[in-house]
Structure 1
Amino acid sequence: MSELTILLVDDHPVVREGYRRLLERTPGYRVVAEASDATSAYQAYQKAKPNVVIMDLSLPGVGGIEALRHIRQWDRDARVLIFTMHSGAQFALKAFEAGAAGYVTKGSDAAELVNSVAIVAKGGRAMSDDVAREIAAERLAHPQSQLDELSPREMEILRLIASGWSAEEVAASLHLSLKTVRNYHYQIKGKVGARTDAHLVWLAIGAGLVGDGAKAREGRGPA
């Protein structure tokens, strides 16, 4: 392709500006749109139809996994590269399960991000070295995690519940009925073997799903 177009999704304008400059120093790379949350990311993708989406996981309100799912539901050929501070194996595995084409951490070298964009744009799969090590270590230490059985949607609901969201808030943000959210909540408990909500929170913290509570609670309301 003569020009590789990119959508940048991160809730920090200064961060987006820095990565825009980095990417556009590469010949043929052009950032054609930016977004700060799941809703604006979906709208920007529909409008700009970029070759690659570079998306953070820690977005206000519903996170990057849900934004990824939404974009992939609209366009099954969407090429999404997750670019995040989270190096945990569970985050990476659920991102790939939801349809991500790549997963790179913000602690990686700048060249790794640039190269990963090219790999993803060509239909390949990219992963930074630290994430690959985390996944390998997780699988060696725990051949099967309690959260492995959860779907990406269930993982996102678990993250929101563990971050203190009420069932009503989760339903509004994910455009689900209250009954559906409660059913998911019950199913999640059954799949992970949690007896109480406190047990659910403990599991979510252990998996690294919860840790930035203030950010997780920002942007509540319908997405």
Structure 2
Amino acid sequence: MIRLLLVDDHPVVRTGYRHLLEQDGDMAVVAQAAGVDEACALFAIHEPDITVTDLAMPGCSGLELIRRLRERDARARTLVFSMHDTNMLVHRALELGALGFVSKSSAPECLIDAIHSVRDGRRYLSPAVAQRLLAGTVESLAFDSLTQREFEIFRLLSRGESVADCAQALHLSQKTVSNIQTLIREKLGIQTTAAMAHLALRHGLIPADNA
């Protein structure tokens, strides 16, 4: 039996995924979480075989969850299941240690196939994601210079979160976040939060209504 932790901030969506996956017969959803902190706590309790996570959630993103789980347990297996599937986000998720990436626009059986592949230690990309990566479509290398912590703070600030909000979400001091914000601006060559938002919007990191 493959034991799963589902992480998505929409309860109805999680219920639908759970029904789909448990119909397969050899999967059991042992826990569900709506955010990163809750997911980390449940991971420690249940030690699931695979964590299936969305990327876009209130507070920290699924990328931060991948980082934290791998930091806690280098053997942690994560699978991203998200509608936010730009090449940059796929690359970053895989670099952080995710074993698979499935677009939510994929057929339901893709998620099932992905879980079996990840369980066996094999990487899985849903067909459209794999085809786009093979085509060599790359948005921009602008974010390559950012560490995951810097990228997460960039994402939160560009979404309109305050320094205090970022500090709380990432369990950092406000001074640390302010210092990192300055470093991010230097690396990306931008001066204002508005410029951050426009850059994030251009690369599909935030929805248009955030800009």
**TM-score normalised according to structure 2 size:** 0.92
Deviations 1:100-146 (Å, cap 9, x if unpaired)?
Answer: 11110111011111010011111111111222234345x4465x521
Q: What are the within-5 Å matches in structure 2 for residues 101-120 of structure 1?
A: 101-120=99-118
Deviations 1:37-76 (Å, cap 9, x if unpaired)?
Answer: 1111111111110111111111122111112212221111
| Alignment partners' CA distance in 1, 2:194 and 2:36 | 28
Indicate conservation of the 8 Å contact 1:87/1:134, yes or no: no
1:160 alignment partner in structure 2: 156
2:194 alignment partner in structure 1: 198
| Alignment partners' CA distance in 1, 2:69 and 2:176 | 21
How many equivalent residue pairs? Answer: 210
Indicate conservation of the 8 Å contact 1:95/1:152, yes or no: no
1:59 alignment partner in structure 2: 57
1:73 alignment partner in structure 2: 71
Q: For 2:75, what is the secondary structure of its paired residue?
A: coil
Indicate conservation of the 8 Å contact 1:97/1:152, yes or no: no
Unaligned runs of 5+ in 2: none
2:81 alignment partner in structure 1: 83
| Alignment partners' CA distance in 1, 2:70 and 2:163 | 25
Match of 2:32 among 12, 31, 34: 34
2:129 alignment partner in structure 1: 131
Indicate conservation of the 8 Å contact 2:87/2:138, yes or no: no
| Alignment partners' CA distance in 2, 1:117 and 1:39 | 23
Indicate conservation of the 8 Å contact 1:88/1:135, yes or no: no
Match of 2:44 among 40, 43, 46: 46
Match of 1:9 among 7, 10, 17: 7
CA RMSD of aligned residues (A): 1.7
Deviations 1:140-176 (Å, cap 9, x if unpaired)?
Answer: 465x521122222221111100011111111111011
Indicate conservation of the 8 Å contact 1:6/1:30, yes or no: yes
Indicate conservation of the 8 Å contact 2:201/2:208, yes or no: no
2:175 alignment partner in structure 1: 179
1:221 alignment partner in structure 2: none
| Alignment partners' CA distance in 2, 1:191 and 1:12 | 34
Q: For 1:149, what is the secondary structure of its paired residue?
A: coil
Distance 1:212 1:205, change over 3 A: closer
Identical counterparts, % of pairs: 39
| Alignment partners' CA distance in 2, 1:141 and 1:32 | 37
Match of 1:21 among 19, 22, 28: 19
| Alignment partners' CA distance in 2, 1:166 and 1:124 | 39
Amino acid at match of 1:110: P
Indicate conservation of the 8 Å contact 2:87/2:137, yes or no: no
Match of 2:165 among 148, 152, 169: 169
